[in-house]
């Protein structure tokens, strides 16, 4: 598939896909006789994973490390799993912190509603 289709399916912009390719995050993409990229379903799956990792705040340095491990093949599955597990734990800590902030905001809004009602 063409880069525009890969962009639509992965949720990444064409510029981001090109950046990821230049940065070494994306394994080499086959090119057709016309020199244009031809993305496979595996390429799009990888791009979708990259979009998710970046969307959840994984640093580019960690993404590069993960991509380097991926290029080394299945022998690095345990290390890749560890990278993703660390990121999942980080997300859980973030989620807990956000939940706590939401509780504080809810309390404050309720308190302001009470103050406003008392003033009327």
Q: Calculate the alpha carbon distances from 12 to 44, 53, 72 in Å.
A: 10, 12, 25
Mean pLDDT across the chain, nearest whole number? Answer: 94
Domains held by the chain: number: 1
What CATH number did the domain enclosing 32 receive? 1.10.1660.10
Measured CA to CA, the distance from residue 1 to residue 3 in angstroms comes to 7
Residue 119 scores a pLDDT above 90: no
Please write the tens of the pLDDT for every residue from 53-62.
Answer: 999 999 999 9
User: What are the structure tokens assigned to 49, written together?
Assistant: 């994973």
Give the three-class secondary structure for 34: coil
pLDDT at res. 112: 94
If pLDDT is split at 50, 70 and 90, which confidence band does 3 have?
Answer: very high
Measured CA to CA, the distance from residue 110 to residue 120 in angstroms comes to 16
Tokens 């960690």 belong to 62
Domain that holds residue 78: 3-119
Measured CA to CA, the distance from residue 17 to residue 96 in angstroms comes to 32
């Amino acid at each position: 598939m063409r880069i525009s289709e890969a962009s639509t399916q992965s949720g990444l912009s064409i510029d981001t896909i090109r950046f990821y390719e230049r940065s070494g995050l994306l394994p080499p993409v086959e090119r057709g006789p016309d020199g244009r990229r031809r993305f496979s379903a595996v390429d799009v799956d990888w791009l979708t994973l990259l979009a998710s990792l970046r969307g959840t705040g994984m640093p580019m340095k960690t993404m590069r490390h993960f991509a380097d491990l991926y290029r080394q093949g299945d022998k690095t599955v345990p290390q890749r799993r560890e990278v993703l597990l660390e990121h999942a734990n980080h997300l859980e800590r973030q989620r807990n912190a956000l939940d706590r902030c939401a509780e504080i905001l809810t309390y404050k809004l309720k308190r302001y509603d009470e103050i406003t009602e008392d003033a009327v």
